[in-house]
Structure 1
């Protein structure tokens, strides 16, 4: 309101629609003369109904760049076009529509970032193409046919501009980046060769990766690329139900090929609530994806978006979903609401403990105690719920302590297993936390005399150009981490205080000193 605007324009998405509609109503109450125009996916498929039921004057349907430009030109008196294609208008309570606008020429897109913008160490988004060759029923991209690309030379020029800004992460918003092999290979080759510390994120379809693409990616610097792969389900019948004509075996083969080159972080997506998938099938899907051991496993929940074909089939599959954004599935004819909430809790455990990569050795220890990974994470989620941990914020220390409690109250193992677990927890804790002190449940297993001796040894032999820290373990921790062998034998590990992940086993040299 301080801007004294004549027109206010909102882009609407599932995450902001409720805020936008409320704000718009308040704006009109304050000053009815201010015109409001909406665009974005949340108004593109019911523009007329939206204007009838909400405060505001205009809705842009679909791609907004050209429609919005013409709208502004008309307001400025540059053009006198009454019916602007892609625009809904409310006049005296009546809605008029300018008709469908053809998909725009990608070469006319304006690069959104400016020369004087400070983008250092930020995450920016980049668009190299629009559209998707696939027709997944839950996705809005399935309603627009064909894929359009920017010219590759322009893409490289714009990426070079961003690289010079010292950006931390550049996320391509392309729906399926590798749907055109010539385009993807040219961009990947360029990004593999440039001098940058930036990471580039792509959504890809793994099953269509070609041999020459994988060979090219194998030459990329480690950490240069990260891929998000929409597996969604490993049940081939369910894949057919959502119009994905692919088999999980084909997806898995390419994911494992990418994994073998060891330089690309992979994020694999699953969706709960898909048509025809029951609880047991989803459990198998989770275990199938988890067995690949990607860097991240994302559990999502089906959203029945406005305009997506899946919405029309909701009754067929007994789908009940929230009428409010983000329109998330509540239950289906095969998964009850209670089961769905259990999966929500399991998702939280996977995200916190697996995806953070801070509890790897602890998780490996517990997995062996359960029939499969799903059962472990589900048991951990139920333990969290029972203890009330979902209802409060845990400290970074408490996230580790949970495993000690879980072991005592759920696993109920004998003394040696308890000792082993505490040492594993200490090892993972030491890798990601400052180590000048340890929490009480991870007391240092070393006498004051030996601790003083260890510090003197490190000071004499190592503390020259940087500081080091020595830690004692009740077991041969390095051997256990490396190959899973449990030896109850005192060991000593040297940590670099500038990089706590840099460790050295100094057991033999210290003992012989």
Structure 2
């Protein structure tokens, strides 16, 4: 949504917000907040968007044509370098422009950054809205700029640090970013804040212990109405812990469910705080309306205590089991390796316990020591060494060496490649329940793939799992994998399961497992799994997967394989 257009006759001071997104799908809402604040202050304000990996030169030409008095940008972990690349070039061309940077990258000590990056005049620590309004009001007064809470700068070579900007309250005072979005909005989802702050005190988090404030229900409703009017159908609620306070989250869930049935909502929750009331709200929703991301982090109680996290492993697992039992609720769970006191064995144990529950997705990441977090300041206590540049990943801890953390990173790829594809999730959950050594063994078997830059093709992953299940695991896992292979439409004659063409009608005693028995069939195959199955494939070239799958009873005395046919099945050779 670029609106940086040249308007040479505007009498108002002109400014630009540089919005750098990690991908086309991701669009922050800070640009809309700041545009509303700037326009209320009498500025002619424009937004210039960039996507990481995109050339900066065309955007640079557009922004320079505006000759702005101020350029502002929010720096995030994965967009910092793109923002700097643009700002360095811009400042070289227009050195008189005031350049202001904010965002999570500036929550720590900003002296080294400002000394290394003279293209940035001011860095803002903390929530930016109040500081931004004050900067707009005092843009022509260097002395006044130096008194604004949250501002860090170099003044005549001396570093000046004004602490953290005051948290915004009430949040409804922040202008809504949604009315200014185009119709239709072409991104697949949009972010929505309903609270800021977090009552948890997790030492790795930038929001730990900040006061929790809420947007009013009326403001949330108005924002959602604007979102819906722009054709957006997926809303990712950006609260740190959506279920932090029942009096806030339960009415919102009812509003989401009843007033905005067209929208799907992604919520981040603490599984240790799942309550019966929360579950009832999820249970009464239409399946697929809510996608829950559960922040597990670890299931090791000593490590949880080291973090200052209020959860326990028992409460977390209980909440996850109850969430998993809600029909139609998509459940994503997060784990972190490299936490204070954590070991590789803890990461493997956490993964085994979590995958055995069968959430739809698992994300395992290595800890990042983010600027301004308590853990970043306590790194020496835990023997932590982290990368000095984004994404600040931990390289060594007092309890995990370099090689062990590398194994955790490789394990993360194994989870992404082999657990998260829907073809495999149920099978790997079952494997985790059946085999306590499943994950180390799979990590070892997949090791030859893990040095490649990209994920192997899905068919290659099927074949590796087939090898693995042949080696260890109950036969039902191998049968289940073969079922998924044939259902997807991979080769029946040169695949991971024995199959042969089936040229007759479906026997009358066959049981329809899934699919449409009335769909015209072009070809079919019989496979010997736990029981014999017939996989029927349709005539449409754009649909590769089976249109119907039948289970045959085991062959016995007096039973003919080609029995009385089903009238509904139109099987043709």
Please give the TM-score of this superposition, normalised by the length of structure 1: 0.83
Match of 1:512 in 2: 564
Equivalences for 1:108-147 in 2 at 5 Å? 108-113=173-178, 114=180, 116-119=182-185, 122-142=188-208, 144-147=209-212
- Asked if residue 428 in structure 1 is aligned to residue 484 in structure 2, the reply is yes
Match of 2:445 in 1: 383
For residues 140 and 106 of structure 2, what CA distance do their matches in structure 1 show? 25
The Cα of 1:239 is off from its aligned counterpart by 0.8
Residue 151 and residue 169 in structure 1: after superposition, are their counterparts in 2 closer, same or farther (change >3 A)? Answer: same
Equivalences for 1:294-333 in 2 at 5 Å? 294-333=359-398
The partner residue of 1:72 within 128, 133, 136 is 136
Equivalences for 1:38-49 in 2 at 5 Å? 38-49=101-112
The Cα of 1:76 is off from its aligned counterpart by 7.5
The partner residue of 2:217 within 135, 139, 152 is 152
Match of 2:166 in 1: 102
Q: Is the 8 A contact 1:362 1:428 kept in 2?
A: no
The Cα of 1:500 is off from its aligned counterpart by 4.7
- Asked if residue 33 in structure 1 is aligned to residue 85 in structure 2, the reply is no
Equivalences for 1:134-283 in 2 at 5 Å? 134-142=200-208, 144-194=209-259, 196-283=261-348
For residues 168 and 395 of structure 1, what CA distance do their matches in structure 2 show? 30
Residue 40 and residue 152 in structure 1: after superposition, are their counterparts in 2 closer, same or farther (change >3 A)? Answer: same
The Cα of 1:246 is off from its aligned counterpart by 2.4
The Cα of 1:141 is off from its aligned counterpart by 0.8
Q: Which runs of 5+ in 1 are unaligned?
A: 478-485
Q: Is the 8 A contact 1:423 1:474 kept in 2?
A: no
For residues 292-316 of structure 1, what are the alpha-carbon distances to aligned partners after superposition, in whole Å with 9 as ceiling and x for unaligned? 2211221121111111111222122
Match of 2:495 in 1: 441
Q: Is the 8 A contact 2:240 2:268 kept in 1?
A: yes
The Cα of 1:366 is off from its aligned counterpart by 5.3
The Cα of 1:444 is off from its aligned counterpart by 7.5
Residue 499 and residue 203 in structure 1: after superposition, are their counterparts in 2 closer, same or farther (change >3 A)? Answer: farther
Secondary structure of 1:493's counterpart equals: strand
Q: Is the 8 A contact 1:360 1:428 kept in 2?
A: no
- Asked if residue 16 in structure 1 is aligned to residue 53 in structure 2, the reply is no
For residues 50 and 121 of structure 1, what CA distance do their matches in structure 2 show? 33
Secondary structure of 2:104's counterpart equals: coil
Residue 337 and residue 219 in structure 1: after superposition, are their counterparts in 2 closer, same or farther (change >3 A)? Answer: same
Secondary structure of 1:141's counterpart equals: coil
Equivalences for 1:78-93 in 2 at 5 Å? 83-93=147-157
Count of residue pairs the alignment pairs up: 482
Secondary structure of 2:439's counterpart equals: helix
Q: Which runs of 5+ in 2 are unaligned?
A: 1-59, 509-514, 554-560, 566-573
Q: Is the 8 A contact 2:517 2:548 kept in 1?
A: no
